[in-house]
Structure 1
């Protein structure tokens, strides 16, 4: 009888779960569907103590012990957060104190502090086993300042003459020595071929899925066009994510002609940081970023949105200087970054959230024990939504409301409609929405609320201060009396069964 009672108790919950399931049709994953986790290798996880020479965790400019094995050990953590791809800072052999990876000494060797080539292969393989893609940071603009080629007379023409970068003169940008680092002469056929060979080496040796291209604007477009052709002759699906550090979307978009697939979106970063660092910031600048992207880029949905990275102050620090609660600010910023057109790039530690000022303070060791549960859950939910609802990754964008610190926008793909509401204001905000289907409801996926259409055809949406929600627009379920009646009947049977057992036990006493 106890087994029967247990079954009766489980049935309503099983039916409730089935009633609320959403079966989205899955298509082959595109890069715009990705959610990327960005890792500075040395500052993430120390998985192999045997390569810990010259490690000094008290020196922010020294190696701290993070390595490829540490990332392998944390792939389950990354997968649990819902990320579908990872981007690593350069893993090539670097000069002394090149913990960040950008002072390359050998373009075809793994830095000893990070592990071995076998570790690099294993990382890609283990990630692929979890359906996680991997991209490596790839540098072609410069070498480390003490590179042996500088003393090789036969390689005198492998570098541009030493000169500083001044202003926005494009020739100086391309030929000057960035931060005093020797600038490679990529117009030289030998240099060009060497870099092509290095790219091909990493693709064939590791099976990596793409490169993040460092300092793109400091290298001539002609090189990038040929580089693109070469790597895609090796792997036609290979992905190239370019870094063109500029506030001007027209300047960045001009590099799209080289074949580079995507770019980290600095105009988005600037607008998002300014908008969400404090309450009451208008979201108009973010809407303007998208309108410009749609006009200037052939593939605007492929841009990488970010709010934190290794070259700028941590967003936690920026919000803290405004005397704001960083967790509250992060939750709003993340909601926008994960639901706006483009794909999100989350810098390691944003989920903690790590604090940090200018480089290298923004590159502190990851803290796996101090994570914020609210932020981790927010990231998990947002990643789950992107996976379940194609409208959030492929849908068009339409602003429905934007006033007094609150913005509401719609993403629509085929017959699927999502509505995102972000109240960045310090007070409650509300609006009437009319540009939605009749006889439907908006079901919140973050706050679990439901907004139904009123008799006059309006969806009355109210949002508490500094909150956000992502709504799926679906047919109005109303009250499912058949379902409620069935559940009620099951509960009634359960009560009767409990009474019957109680009476039977008393009679037997």
Structure 2
């Protein structure tokens, strides 16, 4: 009998050990999301300032006693109601503001008052749990922002928790001087009490707190604030004890790539601020592309784990791109660079709506989302462009090595792998450019003469490589994402890689893309070569109008919109009962004040007939509400959306 009991106990113990080993992640509050998980998922992060993204009452007045508006009413509950808007954008992760209780006016979350209490202003513990649960249901991971360097401004530190004794802080008579790095780790930022990370007990408590928060709220990763101000020993402990289970994106707000590289030895997910500022300098401030060359050269040389590093165009601490330069085409070029690059892209709330910010009372870049015109518009041209780029990225299109290929003062081209070439320009809206990229500067698969490439961002923008290389012409400054669609002498068979998870799954399908070619190798954006496998022959037609959209409309217009390309314009038409046909002007710049719309929806069932004659006026592409049944080679629904 005793022998049987021992065997039973041994069996139960073995089962328990197996369960602990196999399901250990569940026992500690959910599956760990490591660096490999975030990189393998081809992550795209969407950052919100929780207080400024969605509110129950958009008309609420923010706190007038706070310099930056204080709390404006944003909450987890209202953020939950906008999760579909975020998921449909195509991102895979949601980065929220620090969730703990802050001192007065700490709407942003970076002024901790009580580490053991979730912000009541945001909705408290229960609403935070609901947010992470519903985000996961929609395929979104949640990244929590953690503040480990300091606490909030509080005259009486006894009101802070759990750190409220002198030994918990560095001396307050020493302030960080940004030109003196030796002050970073032992002095306080501005008037923020600097936590004493020389104190072992302080470090231990904070690391345990992060682990407990991950368990309690099922977070998938963390963004660590101000890591250059933490002791190296603390960073090592964070990397080993937290970074071994969760991806950590560290804020490395430093001037040179070499400093970023130093921190990556401890936390792989550093943020490449120097490269981000170089992109902003080139595309927003119109500095020569040499600034990007310098930053990328340093990145390529010094950053060991490029796939784990993060990159952004906008965030909560810098003026928005559109405030610096109000040009949607220039921003679109910067966005393409970001989304096609090897780093993990981070998008900032409102960028997909062309938000410009700039109001000092909201710290410029933190204007409440609901105060923008039509703030959650899923048909905004930048929202749809971001969707398209996200689908390409998640499908594996940008997996290959990133190599700088061709640079002029206002043009930067790089490749991803052997058959993708990204061409961006800082010229901006309405600026035409033409370049010849020599064969030696093309990726391997594009070099043979006769190779056919098409821009996957805009329908019909194709060219054929000749002995001189690839001729690239952009009529209105739009970016290019070229991919080989026909190798020299034969059609290219392209199979979409399997999707690795996340919102808006793609279904893989093999598709042959074909296009007619006149053999001269020089075709301009706007010639609109049709892809028979995607659009039935004759569905779209091309003409010219001497007086633009007004002449085409002839009193039959029902709506004016902004579209990416003709297929995008047709898509909006098909979603509206009142629309029977459309007209699209390809050479109208995005955001052109004199011509804010390039897509017109019409009430007549037949496509309009353009006025004017060949050789004069604007190019007009027109077509019906839909093109009917496509051929057997049509991609699965959702594939190549916006590229038809």
TM-score, normalised relative to structure 1 = 0.80
- Select the residue among 389, 397, 401 that pairs with 1:396: 401
- Alignment match, 1:46: 55
Moved more, 455-464 or 104-113: 455-464
Q: Within 1, Cα distance between the matches of 2:162 and 2:382?
A: 52
Once the two structures are TM-superposed, the CA of residue 150 in structure 1 deviates from its matched residue by: 6.7
Q: Is the 8 A contact 1:32 1:302 kept in 2?
A: no
- Alignment match, 1:381: 388
Once the two structures are TM-superposed, the CA of residue 355 in structure 1 deviates from its matched residue by: 2.3
Q: Within 2, Cα distance between the matches of 1:437 and 1:153?
A: 63
Cα pair distance change 1:29/1:304, threshold 3 Å: closer
- Select the residue among 269, 289, 311 that pairs with 2:317: 311
Q: Is the 8 A contact 2:451 2:465 kept in 1?
A: no
- Alignment match, 2:256: 248
Once the two structures are TM-superposed, the CA of residue 410 in structure 1 deviates from its matched residue by: 1.0
- Select the residue among 180, 194, 201 that pairs with 1:169: 180
Cα pair distance change 1:287/1:473, threshold 3 Å: farther
Cα pair distance change 1:457/1:445, threshold 3 Å: same
Cα pair distance change 1:472/1:237, threshold 3 Å: farther
Moved more, 31-40 or 100-109: 31-40
Q: Which runs of 4+ in 1 moved over 4 A?
A: 52-59, 149-154, 478-481
Once the two structures are TM-superposed, the CA of residue 440 in structure 1 deviates from its matched residue by: 3.0
1:453 has 2:464 as partner: yes
Once the two structures are TM-superposed, the CA of residue 34 in structure 1 deviates from its matched residue by: 1.1
Cα pair distance change 1:109/1:450, threshold 3 Å: same
Q: What pairs up with 1:3-152 in 2 under 5 angstroms?
A: 30=39, 33-47=42-56, 60-146=68-154, 147-148=157-158
- Alignment match, 1:361: 364
Once the two structures are TM-superposed, the CA of residue 135 in structure 1 deviates from its matched residue by: 0.7
Aligned length: 445
- Alignment match, 1:442: 453
SS of the residue corresponding to residue 302 of structure 1 reads coil
- Alignment match, 2:197: 186
Q: Within 1, Cα distance between the matches of 2:179 and 2:123?
A: 39
Q: Within 2, Cα distance between the matches of 1:81 and 1:150?
A: 39
Moved more, 377-386 or 31-40: 31-40
- Alignment match, 2:281: 274
Root-mean-square deviation over aligned CA pairs: 3.1
Q: Is the 8 A contact 1:48 1:69 kept in 2?
A: no
Moved more, 140-149 or 201-210: 140-149
Q: Is the 8 A contact 2:227 2:251 kept in 1?
A: yes
SS of the residue corresponding to residue 419 of structure 2 reads strand
Q: Is the 8 A contact 1:422 1:469 kept in 2?
A: yes
Cα pair distance change 1:78/1:304, threshold 3 Å: same
- Alignment match, 2:522: none
- Alignment match, 2:557: none
SS of the residue corresponding to residue 473 of structure 1 reads strand
Cα pair distance change 1:227/1:152, threshold 3 Å: closer
Cα pair distance change 1:429/1:457, threshold 3 Å: closer
- Alignment match, 1:7: none
Segments of 5+ residues of structure 2 without an aligned counterpart are 1-35, 492-513, 518-531, 538-644
Q: Within 2, Cα distance between the matches of 1:221 and 1:404?
A: 40
SS of the residue corresponding to residue 274 of structure 2 reads helix
- Select the residue among 471, 474, 489 that pairs with 2:485: 474
Once the two structures are TM-superposed, the CA of residue 237 in structure 1 deviates from its matched residue by: 3.7
Once the two structures are TM-superposed, the CA of residue 464 in structure 1 deviates from its matched residue by: 2.4
Q: Within 1, Cα distance between the matches of 2:61 and 2:126?
A: 20
Once the two structures are TM-superposed, the CA of residue 171 in structure 1 deviates from its matched residue by: 3.5
TM-score, normalised relative to structure 2 = 0.64
Q: Is the 8 A contact 2:438 2:469 kept in 1?
A: yes
Q: Is the 8 A contact 1:48 1:67 kept in 2?
A: no
Q: Is the 8 A contact 2:113 2:159 kept in 1?
A: no
Per-residue CA shift, 1:124-143, capped at 9, x if unaligned?
A: 12111222111111001111
Segments of 5+ residues of structure 1 without an aligned counterpart are 1-26, 320-324, 489-509
- Alignment match, 1:8: none
Once the two structures are TM-superposed, the CA of residue 437 in structure 1 deviates from its matched residue by: 4.4
